[in-house]
Homo-oligomer: A and B are copies of this chain.
Amino acid sequence: MKKTTVGILGASSYTGLELVRMLVNHPGAKIDYVSSQSNAGQPFTVLFPEMFGIFDDIFILPEQTAGKKVDCVFSCLPHAVSASFLKPIIEQGIRVIDLSADFRIRDPRVYQHWYKTPHACPELLTDAVFGLCEHYRKEIRSARILANPGCYPTSILLPLLPLLKEKSVQIGGIIADSKSGVSGAGRTLKLSSHFVEVYEDVSAYSVGRSHRHIAEIDQELSIAAGREIAITFSPHLMPVNRGILSTIYLTINKTAAECREIALAAYRNEPFVRVRDGGDLPHVKYVAHTNYCDFCYTGGVDGGPVIVVSAIDNLIKGASGQALQNMNIMFGFEEITALPK
């Protein structure tokens, strides 16, 4: 059987590494090329020596990918750069899965507000599907442009969307206090990712209404609820490599147990969502190196908020694993193929 051929743009990133790791084990897909602006000409194993003997391809320049006739292109490029590179590829009719934020926001003005740059191809936005497959699986099957969700949004939207879609639920304020590992900040060199700065430390950043992921969180919550929702969101940096733990406070007219029932019903057949008991708070390590999203509902006593604790691996379910799950859906593979449990 002919394999689905795949190209990866910006493959020298942590998400690129994770994609390659999984794809080499995929029985129906084959990596055709990996590209990297700054590492072109070097073997993948020079950047990632752990892949010695497993994947030894040479990085090509992004420009050299132009004529490549592959079935699917993953982009691990930064936002703005990503849409520019993907535009001609999309126009060639190649299906793309974009791990950047470029195709997540439906309204190009909202995109420009948060990302401080005009969108490179606003005319293509209507063709993009938000790749939270538990909620958009049908649209994903035929998507030409798959906008893979952000890591924080994935951890927050999965436990909240079933509630917001439920007619009988009334939600007031939503506060998400999220804790992320350092790989979420990428492999680029910056002082805030220097080992000595992060080790032994815990810190908050971009708290309130300033982190870019608010755009897609608000968008998807609002679509589900059928009204405008504005979240309060406080990301934190934790001294671990991977994982996000989101603790979410909901002013809501349901008990934690009722929320759990709604989620259990919504996710009954989902292979990568694990709704836990209220007393069984998920840890980051329960989901590290896997494609699971684990969460539970608790609190809500004495008039206090219902509290959601939600965990994912930011590089897998929060990025490359979710992207591969989407590829599996788009190309008709069994959905769990090559995804770590």
Contacts and interface: CB of A to CB of B under 8 A. Distances in A.
A287 B194 CA distance: 19
Interface in A146-184: 173, 175, 177, 179, 181-183
A138 to B, nearest CB: 25
A189 interface: yes
A90 interface: no
Contacts of A341: 54
A274 interface: yes
Given A191-B187, A196-B183, A299-B232, A205 B281 contact: yes
A37 to B, nearest CB: 16
A17 to B, nearest CB: 11
Contacts of A285: 50, 197, 200-201
A204 to B, nearest CB: 5
B203 A284 contact: yes
A285 B285 CA distance: 17
Interface in A276-298: 276, 280-289, 294, 298
Interface stretch (A65-73, A99-107, A240-248): A240-248
A130 interface: no
A12 to B, nearest CB: 11
Interface in A206-256: 207-209, 230, 232, 234, 236, 238-243, 245, 247, 249
| Copies of this chain, tallied across the complex | 4
A309 B208 CA distance: 11
A201 B241 CA distance: 9
Interface stretch (A2-10, A300-308, A316-324): A300-308
Interface string A27-65: 000000000000000000000011011100000000000
A163 B286 CA distance: 40
A268 interface: no
Given A193-B194, A201-B288, 19 more contacts: A50-B283, A52-B276, A179-B179, A179-B236, A182-B195, A182-B196, A189-B190, A189-B194, A193-B196, A194-B194, A195-B198, A195-B199, A195-B241, A200-B284, A201-B284, A202-B243, A207-B307, A208-B299, A249-B249
